[in-house]
């Protein structure tokens, strides 16, 4: 690694100095266990610390080691992840744990390039684990780092572009010191999360304001540049809550749509169906409508109930098998991983 320029050293020294006076106390700090660090980093992807914390405690207590996670059934892992979102993270987490336990003899990969091969581990997460756990000099570039560097150095490249990813990672790797690289990575992220915040940062309190491009040019509001082109899709979902005695009809969601691997009910999109294949009876519409907002979809959901008489249990069972549905006893529902929308519905139903 080449020697850092004095300007770069001044930047990193001020960031570290600020951090030492203003550290966040977080449960995964102070450990060098790559498993715990990996766990925290996956949980925190696109997730605020405050939202991820309870999940970190739950996972690190339920699965203290990579072996414990590897030996758990995926259904249990997804259930523990319930409510956190981006569920592919949980599936990849579990898949990696099995890979590390069964294929790598339980030895966690210990370099940036080996970590990068793990499912769900990209350049940010590989840099975080390799620097925090193994002291490798690899700079993290997350949303905080994009913002801090764009403002301080006056970079107006669209941070959503692939070009920016390369540009900012190259710059970040010139700034990171060879001594205590993990501490520097923690420092710049805390600095972005607590001082150089997206809206209305308290620049007068900033130790870097004298040499900050954006502050000196009055461009703090304009940096970083992010061109957002995600279009939100509106969807109308109609769910059928089919019960036969104590048994409910459930569906495990497949790939190609939201909530893969989670459980909801048989449903149609668009207009509710007047009758279902299993009964001549008309489903009874529940008046309450549910609006559920995702980052890329707005869901309008309604629910209808249908009670199947006990005599038809055999026929219902056959129907579920043909349609790929599951019959689940009411007291087992709590163990299914479900999207928040469905949890909200069940709560309203007193389940």
Listed ranges 9-17, 97-105, 197-205, 312-320: which one lies at the site for DNA (CB under 7 A): 197-205
Q: Is 205 in the site for DNA (CB under 7 A)?
A: no
Residue 5 contacts DNA per CB under 7 A: no
Report d(CA 62, CA 68) in Å as an integer.
8
- The residue among 50 and 210 lying less far from DNA, judged by its C-beta, is 50
Rounded CA separation 321/315 (Å): 10
Q: Distances in Å between the alpha carbon of 36 and those of 60, 68, 127, 128, 152?
A: 7, 12, 15, 12, 32
**Part in contact with DNA (CB under 7 A); list of ranges 211-219, 256-264, 267-275, 308-316:** 256-264
Please tell me whether residue 244 binds DNA under the rule CB under 7 A: no
* Pick from 293, 154, 129: nearest CA to 225: 154
Residue span binding DNA (CB under 7 A) among the ranges 57-65, 105-113, 115-123, 243-251: 115-123
35 vs 319, beta carbon nearer DNA: 35
Give the DSSP H or E segment for 56: helix 49-62
Respond yes or no: is residue 41 known to be catalytic: yes
Minimum CB–partner distance for residue 155 and DNA (Å):
15
Does 119 bind DNA (CB under 7 A)? Our answer is: yes
Within 195-312, strands assigned E span 233-244, 247-252, 263-264, 267-269, 284-293, 297-307
Give the pairing of strands 247-252 and 326-329: antiparallel
Taking CB under 7 A as the criterion, the residue among 229, 269, 314, 347 binding DNA is: 229
Apex 340 CA angle, 335 and 345, nearest 5: 85
Residue partners of 67: CB distance under 8 A and separation at least 6: 101, 106
Q: Which of residues 298-337 bind DNA (CB under 7 A)?
A: none
When asked if residue 3 is in the footprint of DNA (CB under 7 A), the reply is no
Pairing of strands 247-252, 263-264: antiparallel
Q: How many residues form the binding site for DNA (CB under 7 A)?
A: 66
Reduced to 3 states (helix: H, G, I; strand: E, B; else coil), residue 45 is: coil
Q: How far is the CB of 163 from DNA (least distance, A)?
A: 6
Shortest distance (Å) from residue 319 CB to DNA: 27
Examine residue 170 and tell whether it contacts DNA (CB under 7 A).
no
Closer residue to DNA in complex, CB, 184/319? 184
The H or E element that residue 67 is part of is helix 66-71
Residue number, 5 or 46, with CB nearest to DNA: 46
CA–CA separation, 276 and 281 (whole Å):
8
Q: Is 53 in the site for DNA (CB under 7 A)?
A: no
Residue ranges in contact with DNA by CB under 7 A: 24, 26, 28-29, 40-41, 44-51, 83-88, 92, 118-126, 128, 142-144, 147, 161-163, 186, 189-190, 192-193, 198-200, 226, 228-231, 233, 256-260, 292-297, 339-341
Which residues are marked as active site? 41
């Amino acid at each position: 690694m080449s020697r850092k320029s004095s300007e770069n050293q001044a930047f990193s020294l001020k960031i570290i100095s600020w951090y030492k006076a203003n550290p966040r106390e977080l449960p995964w700090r102070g450990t060098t266990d790559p498993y715990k660090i990996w766990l925290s980093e996956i949980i925190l992807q696109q997730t605020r610390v405050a939202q991820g914390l309870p999940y970190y405690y739950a996972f690190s207590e339920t699965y203290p080691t990579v072996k414990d996670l590897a030996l758990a059934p995926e259904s249990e892992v997804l259930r523990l992840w319930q409510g956190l979102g981006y569920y592919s993270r949980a599936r990849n987490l579990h898949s990696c744990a099995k890979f590390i336990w069964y294929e790598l003899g339980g030895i966690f990969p210990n370099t940036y390039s080996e970590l990068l091969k793990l499912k769900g581990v990209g350049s940010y997460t590989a840099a975080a684990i390799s620097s925090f756990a193994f002291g490798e000099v690899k700079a993290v570039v997350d949303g905080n780092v994009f913002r801090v560097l764009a403002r301080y150095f006056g970079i107006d490249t669209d941070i959503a572009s692939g070009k920016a990813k390369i540009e900012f990672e190259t710059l970040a790797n010139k700034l990171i010191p060879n001594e205590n690289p993990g501490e520097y990575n923690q420092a710049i992220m805390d600095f972005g999360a607590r001082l150089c915040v997206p809206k209305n940062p308290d620049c007068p309190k900033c130790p870097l304001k004298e040499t900050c491009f954006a502050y000196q040019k009055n461009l703090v509001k304009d940096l970083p540049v992010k061109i957002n082109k995600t279009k939100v899709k509106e969807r109308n979902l109609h769910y059928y809550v089919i019960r036969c005695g104590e048994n409910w009809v459930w569906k495990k969601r497949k790939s190609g749509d939201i909530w893969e691997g989670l459980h909801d009910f048989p449903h149609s999109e668009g207009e509710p169906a007047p009758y279902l294949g299993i009964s001549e009876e008309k489903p009874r519409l529940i008046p309450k409508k549910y609006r559920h907002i995702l980052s890329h979809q707005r869901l309008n959901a309604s629910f209808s109930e249908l009670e199947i008489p006990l005599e038809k249990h055999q026929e219902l069972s056959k129907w579920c098998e043909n349609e790929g549905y599951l019959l689940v006893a009411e007291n087992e529902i709590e163990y299914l991983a479900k999207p928040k929308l469905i949890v909200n519905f069940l709560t309203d139903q007193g389940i």
